[in-house]
Chains A and B, each alone.
Chain A
Amino acid sequence: MASALTQPFTTLPGEVGAPRRTPRWWNRFVRQPTAVVGLALLLAVAAVALLAPWLAPGDPLTGIGPPLQPPSPAHPLGTDDLGRDILSQLLHGARVSLLVGLATAVIATLVGIVVGGLAGFFGRWVDDALMRLTEFVLVLPRFFLAIIVTTFFGGSLLTIVLLLGLTFWPSTARLLRAQILSLREREFVVAARAVGAAEPAILTRQVLPNAMPPVLVNASLQVGGAILIEAGLSFLGLGDRSQVSWGYMLNSAQPFILIAWWMSLFPGLALLLTVVAVNLVADGLNDAWNPQLSDEAWR
């Protein structure tokens, strides 16, 4: 199969140009103001998620004030219909969103690396079989599947993360496989082979590190995608009800959208900012690892 046919389907395909891993990528990354802003935002959200129990002590799902109060000094972002503090829920909700995003991306990337790596490296029937499997997973409609599984089996965080991780990996696998196919014939790999390096060593030492940048960019985009899907499921009332998440807050806000705007606005904005931050970082990484674009002065 020609490599163009194996482009990732659902992500922003990073241009699979000449991926030279240079120590300069970090310099390139921080030279982009958007990437720095994204990273700062993301670190802020991560800090909030980690520190939530100290920033907002107590159970965010316990009523501590009068219900449906607009933002005030006592409750800077207001309270919900059961008199629970929105700010406190927002801080705790960051944990679920980030956790779902990161765990999904980690699972998807690991599975994708294994599948894509095996397929790209061994080729032949292994490749064929694994690519059939990849197509199969791509054909399963992810959101439909998520609705059905969370409806039927309950929407615990574990279920959601596993489900998303196990449906997000095909793009990673295809990307990595394409990278490997193109890298295998590159000079430095051929050279390594010529001096007698063993194939597994070539794969892990030479090919994989060079193939990783687009995979990581893809993974960071998946973080954003997973966060949005979790929010969508929670919005339908199919998320994990035992922990507050931003989607859960948006779901609770439904009946009050016209009279308690603060219940809906803040979690929505938090979601938006977090996903934007993740995507900015992904863009920054892509540009930093793909110097062709940013170095090329086009006038």
Chain B
Amino acid sequence: MAAHLPRYLLRRVLQAVPLLLGVLVVNFFLIHLAPGDPIYLLAGDGGDEPYFAAMRQKYGLDKPLPVQLGLYLLGVVQGEFGYSFAYARPVFEVIAARLPPTLLLMGVSIVLSTVVGVWLGVVCARRPNSPVERSVLVATLLGYGCPAFWLGQLLVLLFAVRLGWFPVQGMVNARADYEGLARLSDIARHLALPVATLSVLHLALVTRLTRTGLREELGKDYVRTARAKGLPTPSVVNRHALRNALLPVVTVVGADIGTLFTGAVLTEIVFAWPGLGRLLYDATLSRDYPLLMGIFLLVGTSVILTNIVTDVAYAVLDPRVRYT
């Protein structure tokens, strides 16, 4: 099996190229054909025809669309992603500056909700129909149905405004220049509420998947046999059943890495978190074409890569899967 892996990976990566190209082309036309002209936004409430014409020429917006698309793709191949209108800086730099906060928020949220979710799922599966399971299930249902932005606001009202335990917004304290550990703890305090908001849905999903998967596995013949032989339940759960039960969890975690890029828009806005989701929202409002294209390129690439990695992880966990 291992021998097939490089070929499989190569094939998947090659397949990804037309996929990405498609994403770029579709988004390019979507963005450029939409009403609204970035030049007017740049001009504010001033400007006249000569000014608009000069700016259009400067940003290459005077050329026919297919030519603009061609030039853009040519640039991408050479690692040039253009200049953001609003930031008046290379798109690459603008995105790079916003990536660490998003990755921090996403990463902490995914790790935390996956670990806690698997644990809760195991607890539930091992105590079916217990009060513990019932309450966890009700909680996951509520978590699954709760609009994230609404939950975020409730958390702010309760824990930040009323109780004052956590800050209302931002990633660092604006007044203090913390260094070292103090800075880390400052960021952690700012991270608490947005991570909680962002994790609820994912936590609910992982908990339910683990519970369902594990219950199913535990009902299978091999578990019964092991149990009949007198093996203690925890060992059965840990050694065999959990491994199989986690397969769907891997898929969902993989997919959520893709959606957490996007799922962060509302959370980032509510908590004034300086991440990519907000950057996209701002870029949309300001018709910042090159920046929008750059973000789509990044998100598309990350989703495709995540899919490949997920599939490989799946295969590693489940020997029945073969690369074809």
Contact = CB atoms under 8 A, between A and B. Distances in A.
| Chains A and B form a bound pair | yes
A298 B126 CA distance: 10
Contacts of A12: 205, 208-209, 212
Given A2-B321, A272-B147, A144 B296 contact: yes
Interface of B: 15, 18-20, 22-23, 26, 30-31, 34-36, 128, 141-142, 144-150, 153-154, 157, 161, 205, 208-209, 212-213, 215-216, 218-219, 247-248, 251-252, 254-255, 258-259, 261-263, 265-266, 269, 280-281, 284-285, 292, 295-296, 299-300, 303-304, 307, 311, 314, 318, 320-322, 324
A235 B147 contact: yes
A298 B219 contact: yes
Contacts of A138: 303, 307
B115 to A, nearest CB: 19
A272 B145 contact: yes
Given A148-B284, A272-B145, A276-B144, A2 B324 contact: yes
Interface in A257-299: 257-258, 264, 268, 271-276, 278-280, 292-293, 296, 298
Interface stretch (A65-73, A79-87, A187-195, A224-232): A224-232
A124 B295 CA distance: 35
B300 to A, nearest CB: 5
Given A4-B314, A12-B209, A151-B284, A143 B147 contact: no
Given A7-B248, A236-B281, A141 B261 contact: yes
B258 A141 contact: yes
Contacts of B255: 9-10
B318 A275 contact: no
Interface in A140-163: 140-144, 147-149, 151-153
Contacts of B295: 144
A268 B266 CA distance: 15
Contacts of A148: 30-31, 34, 284, 292
Contacts of B321: 2, 4-5
Q: How large, as a class, is the contact surface on chain A? A: 35 or more
Interface of chain B: mostly helix, strand, loop or mixed: helix
Given A141-B303, A144-B295, A293 B145 contact: no
Candidate in A9, A142, A274 with the most chain B CB atoms within 10 angstroms: A9
Contacts of B34: 148, 152-153
A15 B211 CA distance: 12
A9 B150 contact: no
B160 to A, nearest CB: 12
B30 A271 contact: no
A186 interface: no
A4 B284 contact: no
Contact of B265 (A17, A143, A275): A143
Given A144-B262, A257-B157, A296-B219, A232 B303 contact: no
A254 B205 CA distance: 29
